[in-house]
């Protein structure tokens, strides 16, 4: 018999259908067997809704019992898991095992909290293992900042320190002392990372414990100061004097002074070669000072401000002038001002801001002035003040000015020139001054003369109110050092042994010692050399004596003496040997043994090349004991 739709319904659905469908015929059900008495068999037929509700309540109660049993089982499982976790944590914390913890490896770094740049810094590094087991292949590594040098050799870079400590057993502590020369700018904080890497037995993993040492730079190893004018007139030369000083306790190599010039600045000259706005100063000894002068002109509108930015530091190599480490920066602001009276100061016809003059000579100074305003300037005054260690103040004279010996000022005013009472627009004039520099023997070290020109006057401003106007310009003249050179020939005396007849004889060889000496006076000389050309009949023998190094070029027949540097008020002497075989054409003569000897060197203070000439030497050995004039004549 095929299934009907009634068969596909659940018992609950069939009950609902019979309950709510009035057309559904009643179906008699046999009452289930019952052991209870007093139950009416026709009760279901009388109230079917009660029976359905009872069945639903019975089913819900069964489901509630099942849910309670599931919740109880879940709670019991969670509580058991909690107890197991507590046990495991207790075992790890209090029983321990062969595990390694980074927190139980400590790295302590001790050192000064503040240092001076360029000082040797001692660091104490202590590594302690508090793990229950040993750590293996423990390695300390310290990464130093750029520019750090070795404490053993400050010229050697020291980028990092690495040491393998081996195995540290439980409770072991190892300390190491590390020294390095650190650099940095004043106020700069240096963070130095310190790490210890290690491994554990039975594990291929590498553990790393890190720490950081922090110190501050209290002073810079290099400092730079800028001395210049506060105001500049467009197109008028200005000079910036840069003073670099080493504050380090060790020599600093590859020192570079870098400049960032403002818009409108044109370089005219500098005391040192300028490469891409940088000056290479080389190596500075502790406490050494280098002075660099820079001259140029500015353009701009009145009221504009131009800022020069200079940075001092060290380069990675002498060939690369890019700063590897910068220690200090210095700004120099200059305002653009309109000149009301322009002045030009020339010394011996030289209008440059830093002329070089000679010792013991008369100097001619001329100051020219012009009113550049569209209005008159009343009571114009031009003052030139002379100061310095190289001037003989008793020789100061002026033609159309007044010299005040109290303050060494020469004043040009309406008292000496009536035209200055009211200087018309475009009107100009000049004043003259003369003086002498001290002789070479009287000059002190680093002699110079400072000339300061100041102008003042009264002009009528835009509001018709009198305005007092002033301006000043400074020029520094350096006196070049005086160098004394001498040359002499010797035979019976001197540092080198000689041979041959005296007087010299035709066809026979006689050897002579040629002795040179150089003396520096007021300033140091760098790269001093002295040379001469030998006559064709004289041979360079070769033995030498004294300071410096001698060399001989056989092609040009040139003898060169490389002296090197001379300190102020010091002298050097050197000697070499030559031989002469006189010819019959030289009989009765005293032949020359060398030509004129020329000396060249670089005046470190004046920043200029200096030269000196010594006369040729002959067979006249006037410095020999018992010399007589006939000893020089070829026989």
Q: Where are the domains of the chain?
A: 102-219, 222-336, 341-479, 483-632
Quick one: tokens of 358?
């000679």
Q: What angle do CA 192, 197, 202 make, to 5 degrees?
A: 170
**pLDDT tens-digit series, residues 587-629:** 999 999 999 999 999 998 888 889 999 999 999 999 999 999 9
Q: How far apart are CA 505 and CA 634, in angstroms?
A: 5
Quick one: tokens of 506?
């035709």
| Mean pLDDT confidence for 533-556 | 94
- Yes or no: say if 179 and 169 are a contact pair by the CB < 8 Å rule: no
Please report, for residues 507, 519, 522, 561, 607, the alpha-carbon distance to residue 570 in angstroms, rounded to integers and kept in the order given: 42, 6, 10, 17, 19
Q: In sequence order, which residues have a C-beta less than 8 Å from that of residue 308 and are 6 or more positions away?
A: 226, 228, 240, 259, 260, 261, 262, 265, 331, 332, 333, 334
Mean pLDDT check: name the lowest of 127-136, 220-229, 286-295, 586-595. 220-229
Q: b/e per residue, 447-485, with b = 16+ CB within 10 A? A: bbbebbbbbbbebeeeeeeeeebebebbbbbbbbbbbeb
Q: In sequence order, which residues have a C-beta less than 8 Å from that of residue 230 and are 6 or more positions away?
A: 333, 334, 335
Q: b/e per residue, 68-94, with b = 16+ CB within 10 A? A: eeeeeeeeeeeeeeeeeeeeeeeeeee
Q: How far apart are CA 522 and CA 506, in angstroms?
A: 47
| Alpha-helical segments (H) within 467-535 | none
Q: How far apart are CA 539 and CA 579, in angstroms?
A: 5
For residue 60, name the pLDDT band (cuts at 50, 70, 90).
low
Is 222-336 a CATH 1.10.443.10 domain?
A: no
Other C-beta atoms closer than 10 Å to the C-beta of 188 total 17
| Mean pLDDT confidence for 214-219 | 84
Same fold, 222-336 and 483-632: yes
pLDDT, position 600? 94
- Yes or no: say if 172 and 106 are a contact pair by the CB < 8 Å rule: no
pLDDT, position 71? 66
Mean pLDDT check: name the lowest of 434-448, 497-511, 611-625. 434-448
Quick one: tokens of 250?
């060790």
Q: How far apart are CA 126 and CA 129, in angstroms?
A: 10
Q: How far apart are CA 373 and CA 338, in angstroms?
A: 9
Q: How far apart are CA 392 and CA 362, in angstroms?
A: 10
- Strand, coil or helix: what is 302? coil
pLDDT, position 68? 56
Place of tokens 């390694």: 100
Closest CA to 383 of 317, 252, 471: 471
Residue 304 pLDDT exceeds 70: yes
Q: 586 — phi, psi (to 5°)?
A: -100, 5
Highest mean pLDDT among 65-74, 186-195, 205-214, 372-381: 205-214
Q: How far apart are CA 136 and CA 299, in angstroms?
A: 70
Instruction: Find the helix or strand (DSSP H, E) in which 160 lies.
Output: strand 160-168
pLDDT, position 78? 72
Instruction: Give the dihedral sign, CA 612/618/622/623.
Output: positive
pLDDT, position 58? 57
| Mean pLDDT confidence for 20-30 | 49
| Mean pLDDT confidence for 80-94 | 60
Instruction: Find the helix or strand (DSSP H, E) in which 236 lies.
Output: none
- Yes or no: say if 270 and 310 are a contact pair by the CB < 8 Å rule: no
- Yes or no: say if 485 and 517 are a contact pair by the CB < 8 Å rule: yes
Helix then strand count (H, E) for the chain reads 3, 38
Gap between the terminal Cα atoms of the chain: 168
- CATH value of 341-479 in 3.40.50.2300, 2.40.70.10, 2.60.40.10, 2.60.40.740: 2.60.40.740
For residue 501, name the pLDDT band (cuts at 50, 70, 90).
very high
Closest CA to 151 of 197, 194, 120, 184: 120
pLDDT, position 45? 45
Residue 234 pLDDT exceeds 70: yes
Closest CA to 526 of 560, 566, 569: 566
pLDDT, position 114? 85
Considering only the top CATH level, what class is 102-219? mainly beta
For residue 220, name the pLDDT band (cuts at 50, 70, 90).
confident
Mean pLDDT check: name the lowest of 172-176, 201-205, 494-498. 201-205
| Mean pLDDT confidence for 252-265 | 91
Closest CA to 381 of 322, 453, 447: 453
Q: 495 — phi, psi (to 5°)?
A: -80, -15
- Mean pLDDT computed over every residue of the chain: 83
| Mean pLDDT confidence for 225-235 | 81
Highest mean pLDDT among 153-162, 307-316, 544-553: 544-553
| Mean pLDDT confidence for 515-519 | 95
Residue 52 pLDDT exceeds 60: no
For residue 10, name the pLDDT band (cuts at 50, 70, 90).
low
Q: What pTM, to 2 d.p., does this model score?
A: 0.43
Is 483-632 a CATH 2.60.40.1170 domain?
A: yes
Quick one: tokens of 533?
């050309």
**pLDDT tens-digit series, residues 455-488:** 888 876 544 434 455 556 788 899 988 889 999 9
| Mean pLDDT confidence for 496-506 | 94
Quick one: tokens of 20?
């709510």
pLDDT, position 46? 46
Beta bridge partners of 314: 255, 325
Q: 559 — phi, psi (to 5°)?
A: -100, 125
What is the three-state SS of 240-266? EEEEEEECCCCCEEEEEEEEECCCCEE
For residue 343, name the pLDDT band (cuts at 50, 70, 90).
confident
Quick one: tokens of 264?
């409108």
Q: How far apart are CA 628 and CA 133, in angstroms?
A: 98
Q: How far apart are CA 565 and CA 292, in angstroms?
A: 19
**pLDDT tens-digit series, residues 121-165:** 899 999 999 999 999 999 999 999 887 888 888 768 899 999 999
Q: What is the chain's alpha carbon radius of gyration, rounded to the nearest angstrom? A: 50
């Amino acid at each position: 018999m095929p299934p009907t739709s009634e068969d596909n319904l659940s018992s609950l659905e069939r009950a609902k259908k019979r309950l709510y469908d009035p057309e559904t015929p009643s179906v008699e059900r046999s009452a289930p067997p019952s052991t209870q008495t007093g139950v009416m068999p026709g009760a279901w037929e009388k109230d079917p809704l009660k029976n359905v509700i009872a069945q639903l309540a019975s089913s819900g109660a069964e489901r509630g019992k099942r849910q309670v049993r599931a919740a109880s089982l879940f709670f019991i499982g969670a509580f058991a898991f909690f107890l197991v976790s507590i046990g495991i944590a207790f075992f790890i914390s209090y029983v321990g095992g062969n595990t390694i913890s980074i927190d139980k490896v400590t790295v302590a770094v001790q050192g000064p909290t503040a240092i001076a740049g360029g000082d040797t810094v001692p660091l104490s590094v202590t590594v302690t293992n508090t793990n229950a087991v040993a750590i293996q292949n423990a390695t300390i590594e310290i990464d130093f900042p750029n520019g750090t040098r070795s404490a053993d050799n400050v010229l050697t870079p020291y980028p990092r320190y690495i040491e393998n400590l081996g195995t540290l057993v439980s409770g072991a502590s190892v300390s190491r002392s590390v020294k390095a020369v650190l650099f940095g700018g004043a106020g700069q904080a240096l963070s130095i990372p310190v790490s210890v890497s290690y491994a554990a037995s039975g594990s291929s993993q590498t553990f790393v414990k890190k720490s950081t040492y922090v110190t501050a730079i209290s002073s810079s190893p290099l400092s730079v100061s800028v001395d210049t004018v506060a105001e500049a007139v467009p197109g008028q030369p200005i000079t910036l004097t840069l003073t670099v000083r080493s504050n380090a306790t060790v020599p600093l190599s590859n020192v570079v002074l870098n400049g960032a010039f403002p818009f409108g600045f044109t370089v005219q000259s500098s005391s040192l070669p300028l490469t891409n706005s940088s000056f290479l100063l080389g190596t500075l000894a502790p406490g050494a000072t280098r002075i660099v002068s820079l001259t140029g002109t500015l353009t701009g509108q009145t009221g504009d401000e131009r800022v020069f930015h200079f940075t001092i530091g060290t380069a990675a190599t002498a060939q690369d002038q890019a700063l590897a480490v910068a220690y200090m920066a210095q700004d120099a602001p200059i305002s653009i001002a309109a000149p009301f009276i322009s002045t030009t100061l020339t010394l011996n016809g030289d209008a440059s801001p830093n002329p070089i003059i000679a010792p013991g000579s008369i100097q001619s100074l001329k100051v020219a002035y012009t009113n550049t305003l569209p209005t008159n300037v009343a009571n114009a005054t031009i003052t030139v003040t002379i100061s310095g260690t190289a001037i003989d103040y008793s020789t100061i004279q002026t033609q159309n000015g007044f010299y005040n010996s109290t303050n060494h000022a020469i004043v040009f005013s309406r008292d000496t020139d009536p035209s200055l009472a009211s200087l018309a627009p475009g009107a100009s004039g000049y004043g003259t001054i003369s003086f002498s520099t001290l002789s070479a023997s009287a000059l002190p070290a680093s002699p110079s003369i400072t000339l300061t020109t100041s102008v003042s006057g009264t002009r009528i401003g835009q509001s018709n109110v009198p305005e007092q106007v002033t301006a000043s310009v400074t020029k520094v003249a350096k006196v070049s050092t005086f160098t004394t050179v001498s040359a002499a020939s010797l035979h019976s005396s001197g540092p080198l042994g000689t041979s041959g007849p005296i007087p010299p004889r035709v066809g026979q060889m006689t050897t002579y010692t040629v002795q040179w000496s150089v003396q520096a006076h007021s300033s140091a000389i760098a790269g001093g050399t002295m040379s001469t050309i030998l006559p064709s009949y004289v041979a360079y023998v070769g033995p030498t004596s004294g300071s410096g190094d001698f060399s001989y070029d056989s092609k040009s027949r040139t003898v060169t003496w490389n002296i090197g540097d001379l300190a102020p008020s010091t002298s050097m002497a050197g000697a070499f040997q030559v031989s002469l075989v006189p010819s019959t054409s030289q009989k009765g003569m005293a032949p020359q043994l060398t030509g004129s000897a020329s000396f060249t060197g670089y005046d470190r203070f004046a920043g200029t090349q200096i030269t000196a000439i010594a006369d040729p030497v002959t067979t006249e050995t006037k410095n020999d004991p018992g010399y007589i004039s006939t000893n020089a004549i070829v026989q």
